[in-house]
Structure 1
């Protein structure tokens, strides 16, 4: 017989900077609890604090390149996570790491950058070149490509401009609204296959809504690295003291 667990169960609180979008935030919440329950068993899952922002503000800031305003807006939300007792913070948006990373660099609370668990997984798989899908700011980010290359030895390949516009448009016009269309899936698969022809040995789902539309099952012979799932796993590991 297993010894009775101490109640309430001592746990670290995971702070989620969410709302970017609500679709991704819902997936994070589901996966965090699922993965923690697999570790803890029984009825146990996570202790989670979510501060969910208005995605309309985020969309406006991103579209108009108002990054300083975005930083001030999200800095206030991180303050709220800290006051709520979060022991570790994650941001559910690849795009908004552009401002959240410097915000968190000024804090003492641990922060898991979404790129790092993905880069580590790609390096562990022995992959040198990976295609990247995401919003336009993510796919155009030199800093992001440098992070993958300098920290993990992974060269990033992005679609040509016309296809980047398609990927971005599907995210903002469909996926953040939970609008999942087969024709959009086929466009993504076409774009991924073109990246593969250009030398990509894998594809990174570099937007936290893309996993709602395509997954490893759609590309059985090409490794798929889902930033959402890998980010959640890293948060669970830290919260459960597993590395």
Structure 2
């Protein structure tokens, strides 16, 4: 049994939701340690596309989690996985890859075309196209104007703990458009979006990346799922979650 989970925090709301979801699985839950370097410290690197610098920052957190006794890690931030996938020294802990967990669930549910909502960096990047592609699942993005809107709400509101009815309405509209384009599910792959868009209001079935990751982590910690082998860097064909 792996036991001790390390949560590599990045944005506070998503990290807190992952932590709460993991701990809510049972009163006597496995040990968990959360480490979080301020999100704002990485924003200049995101703006200039310097994912190697972000990877180095995340490696500092992972070192602290390893020294705290964690056996494996999860990162409840989808966008940062573009940095975690960059080539570099192996991380001191193995980790579950959030996109692999989401794509694994989409495949299990028989999804054929999935809409993707996240930050502009994530939507324009390779993480989810590649994770879905490894399983033969098509994906759709909102149009350019809606991608900008979705991302602005994330950075202007969601990461600050602001969840407004007007923003919820905009996200529902964007999801309706994805449904019109043939999507049979929507992946909420900014870890704060599930706090705004619940299954009850979504026009499509949701793939909640935060809660899927926390559940998979609990299964690893409890010995129901194998200890992951991925230690950062490119994802190999066939996935990295087991």
State the TM bucket, normalised to the shorter chain: 0.7 to 0.9
Q: Distance in 2 between matches of 1:143 and 1:117?
A: 12
What are the residue-to-residue correspondences of 1:72-151 with 2, within 5 Å?
A: 72-102=56-86, 106-107=90-91, 109-150=93-134
Q: Distance in 2 between matches of 1:31 and 1:104?
A: 31
1:201 to 184, 201, 205: 184
CA shift for structure 1 position 63? 2.3
SS for the counterpart of 1:17 is strand
CA shift for structure 1 position 107? 3.5
**Superposition CA RMSD, Å:** 1.7
How many residues align? The count is: 225
2:170 to 173, 187, 190: 187
Q: Which moved more, 1:46-55 or 1:207-216?
A: 46-55
Alignment check: 8 A CA contact 1:87 1:109 kept:
yes
Counterpart of 2:235?
none
Q: Distance in 1 between matches of 2:89 and 2:184?
A: 32
1:165 to 124, 128, 148: 148
SS for the counterpart of 2:97 is coil
Alignment check: 8 A CA contact 2:2 2:72 kept:
no
SS for the counterpart of 2:34 is strand
2:17 to 3, 12, 27: 27
Counterpart of 2:221?
239
Higher relative contact order, chain-length normalized (CA < 8 Å, sep 6+): 2
Counterpart of 2:208?
226
Q: Distance in 2 between matches of 1:181 and 1:231?
A: 25
Q: Deviations over 1:4-50 (max 9, x none)?
A: xxxxxx871100111x2111111111101001x1xxxxx41231111
Alignment check: 8 A CA contact 2:66 2:92 kept:
no
In structure 2, do the counterparts of structure 1 residues 33 and 140 end up closer, same or farther at CA, with 3 Å as the change threshold? same
In structure 2, do the counterparts of structure 1 residues 97 and 105 end up closer, same or farther at CA, with 3 Å as the change threshold? farther
TM-score, normalised relative to structure 2: 0.88
Task: Tell which structure's C-alpha radius of gyration is larger.
Answer: 1
Counterpart of 1:14?
5
Instruction: Return 5+ residue gaps in structure 2 as ranges.
Output: 226-242
Counterpart of 2:159?
176
Q: Which moved more, 1:65-74 or 1:184-193?
A: 65-74
SS for the counterpart of 1:65 is coil
Q: Distance in 1 between matches of 2:131 and 2:98?
A: 11
In structure 2, do the counterparts of structure 1 residues 197 and 123 end up closer, same or farther at CA, with 3 Å as the change threshold? same
TM-score, normalised relative to structure 1: 0.87
